[in-house]
Amino acid sequence: LAKTTQPISMDSYEGQEVNITCSHNNIATNDYITWYQQFPSQGPRFIIQGYKTKVTNEVASLFIPADRKSSTLSLPRVSLSDTAVYYCLVGDGRKLVFGAGTILRVKS
Amino acid sequence: DTEVTQTPKHLVMGMTNKKSLKCEQHMGHRAMYWYKQKAKKPPELMFVYSYEKLSINESVPSRFSPECPNSSLLNLHLHALQPEDSALYLCASSQGSGLAGGGIETQYFGPGTRLLVL
């Protein structure tokens, strides 16, 4: 399974757009990129998944360049409630291997 | 209903005790998972059940014994645990039939059981 590298932490202010980049240099052809969010004392929650180019849903966008060696999770207009750990995962099938994650702190 | 429930929420046990963690889902999912999460660390996969059969065991010590009595229930039996086993134990489920065209099935996680071994 491809290893992922993310920033340890990021700070932002309410209303700003936040972009979290994940590096996955050894991504395999069949691998997809998935992001999960986790609040303290809760289980992770699926945010978005993509294979290439851009994917958008009601909460986030995922940008994947042509070489797929990195990806960027974009959270538009964050609020205090978006303070959480964000995990980037790369793989296929059913096995989830979580990387270290990025702690996002949103301030007022 | 996209909820995975776990009981108990908290558990304190001694090293000689036997206890069980319970997980339940009613989404019709056929894959269920146990993860262990230590403080300030990412979740680590322990076991995967697919159609009530154990399909992945991530070299977990035998003092952890999973059981899947039916497609909705997943148990984790604990015996002779060590203090270093103290952690948040997360259960998750997913559709289990794979995604057309590939990809990782979305896993739905429960809130976890916080276990303290004394």
pLDDT, tens digit, 9 for 90 and up, residues A27-79: 988 889 999 999 998 999 999 999 999 999 999 999 999 999 999 999 999 99
A86 touches chain B (CB under 8 A): no
What is the reported pLDDT for B57? 87
* Interface contact flag, A94 B44, Cβ < 8 Å: no
Classify residue B105 by burial, with Cβ atoms within 10 Å: 0-12, 13-18, 19+. Answer: buried
* Interface contact flag, B44 A32, Cβ < 8 Å: no
pLDDT, tens digit, 9 for 90 and up, residues B79-105: 999 999 999 999 999 988 766 667 788
* Interface contact flag, A46 B43, Cβ < 8 Å: no
The answer to whether residue B43 scores a pLDDT higher than 80 is yes
DSSP structure class, residue A93: B
- Select from B56, B88, B103 the Cβ nearest to the Cβ of A49: B103
State in Å, rounded, how far the first CA of chain B is from the last one.
36
Gap between the Cα atoms of B73 and B4, Å rounded: 10
The answer to whether residue B32 scores a pLDDT higher than 80 is yes
* Interface contact flag, A96 B104, Cβ < 8 Å: yes
Residue pair B40/B52 in contact by the 8 Å Cβ criterion: no
Numbers of helices and strands, H then E, in chain A: 0, 9
